[in-house]
Structure 1
Amino acid sequence: MPTPLDDWFAREILVHEAPLSHYLARCWPHRDEIADLRQEVYARVYEAAARELPRQPKAFLFTTARHLVTDRVRRGKVVSIEPMGDFEPSSVLVDEVSPERWCGGRQRLARLARAFDRLPDRCREVVWLRRVEHLSQREVAQRLGISEKTVEKHIAKGMRLIALYYYGGEDAAAPAGLAADAEGDADAPRQADQGGDVR
């Protein structure tokens, strides 16, 4: 059963898929990465909306897309810093992390790890390959022997479940059918893939 957040997401965000794809295609030179970028935008919007619904969903969607593209461009322009001979570490100001910040970060990381561990097996595998190992959607599909559409479904469901578990606390339960559906999606498309119909 779709949650109220799922209904909101479909009604306010997914309806803008065509203009979003067009916007990303104009801003990003690598056409084969547009689907991945779009999924990343959706994941960011969904996670943010799980905390608080934006008042202007369309504007928030395109602002998120702009920020994502900017982040990618910045990362592409990062220059590695080679060690210098007479570098004196004591001359650098270090922003020390307070024990409170360190502890809070560890707690958030542990909560995120627990949320990740609660994902169904195949869904967890897809999310790991896409979000941690940074494989493309196509590479994940090829490695796991499933269609790219199935990868897309697992990512969307994985992000929804992680947000639910992360923000809903340890006792949060997935909406009826969502976790099972996320696990079950893998089999049907995989059988179709083996039969030659990869989409």
Structure 2
Amino acid sequence: MPFDPVKPSLLSTLVRHYDELVDHVRRRFGDRGFAREVVHDVCVQLLEKREKDNVHTPLALLRKISHDQAVTRYRSERRSQAWLIEMPEPLDAVCPAPSPPRQYEAARELELLTQAISQLPERCQMVFVMHKIHELPQAEVAARMGISLKTVEKHLRLGIAACRAHLDRPPGPL
């Protein structure tokens, strides 16, 4: 019966040649921390999987497994880095709410407009509110109030002029 020496297991070979495997990966990929992580991943793989039988050169196999693991990890990291680099910088979010000074100014204008409308004669006020606030067409305002279209136009002119005067604005669109 021929003598067959006991061959070392892959895990024991990895433990004995740990520094050599780390240096092997580091030479190819340049980063010692990266190389350690790769060799640790190989160790975990060996612990999780069933040992291969009839391995003639365990160190060579471990170098090959470490190299393949490093390539896979490197490509994965490059893909994730490329994805992060391709993402556009988030734009500074513009708050849709007006600034506090603008809110104060708008509230003041609304108060002045409310005062101006409340000081209009009753019929003029009704025409103005129906058309400008409730957005009814002039013809519908005339029909609802039983007045002519010309009278609606006259009341609107008076209402707009009163609002401009109350806001101290020159003639033009309100």
State the TM-score bracket (shorter-chain normalisation).
0.3 to 0.5
What TM-score do you get using the length of structure 2 for normalisation? 0.41
Larger relative contact order (C-alpha < 8 A, sep ≥ 6)? 1
TM-score by length of 1: 0.36
Structure with greater Cα Rg:
2
